[in-house]
């Protein structure tokens, strides 16, 4: 018999405290992420499972799915399960959590599960032992901020530094916003970028849900203004020591002033000054 037990829906405080011990930032596994998903997409259901040993959390996993006519569609898990890989039992706990997730998925008649896990977690053997197979890989763009602003500046490519300087000469200004006007301005830029690039991101309801559930100081929009008009924007959230650029967009008429480059630089500069360790710029196939 296993020395671990599985519980569903542990308290938010307990969940987040455990996550804080083991991660410099894992927004998709924080408790609020599930609540945001439910608010933004009313048909969404959240699965939260925790492994316990001697009454203490040893691992957690959170996933979301939509239910239609009694069937769950695709169960999505981002950056989970979260376990203490420094312990001797980390892989065992991960396997137990995935097995528990499978059992819950079968009970909920979920059709398919999709789990995205960083490669450097070395969970390959765990997933293979349970019959999973890798169907693709995504590149994760993360900028290390721990060495300070001067080192960060020198680590940026020559072309990017030149573009940032050009934007400054052109008079591009970057500012923060937490009001609805700023959010709607950013979202119109995102929609423009989606149309140009032929991709889809989050709907407006998602960003509104973030601002309703997440603490105000943990999420903001950065906007770049040129010639009196906002031309570029990025929506950010903070989890632990990481600042996430969840989505970004721009209007093409501002491109010649290079607003995107200076906007991301100003976000990183702000993050450095406020003691954050990483700037997460998203996943790309």
Q: Name all domains of the chain by residue range, CATH numbers in brackets.
A: 5-135 (3.40.630.30), 141-284 (3.40.630.30)
Phi, psi of 136 (to 5 degrees): 165, 170
The rounded mean pLDDT for the chain is 93
Q: How far from 243 is each of 27, 36, 217, 259, 264, CA to CA, in Å?
A: 9, 18, 12, 20, 11
If you average pLDDT over residues 55-66, what whole number do you get?
95
| E strand spans, the chain | 5-8, 44-53, 56-68, 71-78, 82-83, 110-116, 139-144, 173-177, 219-226, 229-239, 242-250, 278-284
pLDDT of 282 reads 86
For the ranges 11-15, 136-140, 184-188, 203-207, the lowest mean pLDDT is seen at 136-140
If you compute the radius of gyration of the chain from its CA atoms, what whole number of angstroms results? 20
The two beta strands, 110-116 and 5-8, are unpaired
169: Cβ contacts below 8 Å, ≥ 6 apart: none
Sheet holding 229-239, edge to edge: 139-144, 278-284, 242-250, 229-239, 219-226, 173-177
* pLDDT at residue 93 greater than cutoff 90: yes
pLDDT of 73 reads 80
| pLDDT-derived band at 70, boundaries 50, 70, 90 | low
| pLDDT-derived band at 32, boundaries 50, 70, 90 | very high
pLDDT of 285 reads 65
Cβ(126)–Cβ(98) below 8 Å: yes
Q: Is pLDDT larger for residue 207 or for residue 135?
A: 207
pLDDT of 72 reads 62
| pLDDT-derived band at 284, boundaries 50, 70, 90 | confident
The two beta strands, 56-68 and 82-83, are antiparallel
pLDDT of 34 reads 98
| pLDDT-derived band at 1, boundaries 50, 70, 90 | low
For 226-259, write each residue's pLDDT tens digit. 999 999 999 999 999 999 999 999 999 999 999 9
DSSP letters spanning 173-223: EEEEE-SHHHHHHHHHHHHHHHHHHT-----HHHHHHHHHHS-GGGEEEEE
> Comparing C-alpha atoms, which of 34, 43, 51 is closest to residue 95?
51
Q: Is 255 helix (H, G, I), strand (E, B) or coil?
A: helix
The two beta strands, 278-284 and 242-250, are parallel
pTM: 0.93
Q: Is the peptide bond before 80 cis (omega within 30 degrees of 0)?
A: no
If you average pLDDT over residues 105-124, what whole number do you get?
88
pLDDT of 272 reads 97
* pLDDT at residue 2 greater than cutoff 80: no
For 270-282, write each residue's pLDDT tens digit. 999 999 999 999 8
Q: What is the DSSP letter of 124?
A: H
Cβ(70)–Cβ(109) below 8 Å: yes
Cα gap 72→108, rounded to integer Å: 6
pLDDT of 85 reads 82
Q: Is pLDDT larger for residue 112 or for residue 182?
A: 182
> Comparing C-alpha atoms, which of 244, 283, 251 is closest to residue 32?
244
pLDDT of 74 reads 87
Instruction: Give the number of other CB atoms < 10 A from CB of residue 73.
Output: 14
């Amino acid at each position: 018999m296993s020395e671990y037990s599985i519980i569903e829906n542990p308290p938010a405080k307990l969940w987040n405290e455990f996550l804080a011990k083991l991660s410099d930032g894992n927004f998709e596994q924080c408790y609020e992420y599930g609540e945001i998903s439910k608010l933004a997409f009313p048909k969404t259901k959240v699965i939260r499972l925790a492994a316990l040993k001697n009454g203490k959390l040893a691992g957690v996993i959170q996933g979301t799915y939509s239910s239609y006519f009694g069937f769950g569609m695709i169960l999505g898990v981002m950056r989970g399960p979260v376990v203490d890989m420094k312990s001797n039992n980390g892989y065992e706990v991960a396997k137990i959590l995935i097995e528990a997730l499978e059992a819950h998925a079968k009970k909920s008649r979920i059709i398919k599960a999709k789990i995205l896990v960083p490669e450097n977690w070395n969970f390959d053997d765990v997933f293979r032992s349970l019959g999973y197979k890798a169907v693709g890989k995504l590149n994760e763009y993360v900028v290390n901020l721990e060495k300070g602003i001067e080192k960060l500046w020198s680590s940026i490519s020559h072309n990017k530094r030149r573009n940032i300087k050009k934007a400054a000469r052109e008079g591009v200004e970057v500012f923060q916003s937490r009001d609805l006007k700023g959010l709607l301005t950013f979202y119109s830029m995102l929609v423009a970028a989606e149309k140009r690039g032929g991709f889809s991101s989050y709907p407006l309801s998602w960003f509104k849900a973030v601002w309703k559930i997440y603490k105000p100081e943990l999420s903001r929009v950065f906007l770049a203004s040129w010639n009196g008009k906002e031309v570029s924007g990025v929506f950010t959230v903070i989890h632990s020591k990481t600042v996430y650029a969840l989505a970004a967009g721009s209007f093409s008429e501002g491109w010649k002033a290079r607003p995107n480059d200076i906007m991301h630089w100003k976000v990183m500069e702000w993050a450095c000054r406020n003691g954050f360790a990483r700037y997460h710029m998203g996943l790309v196939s």
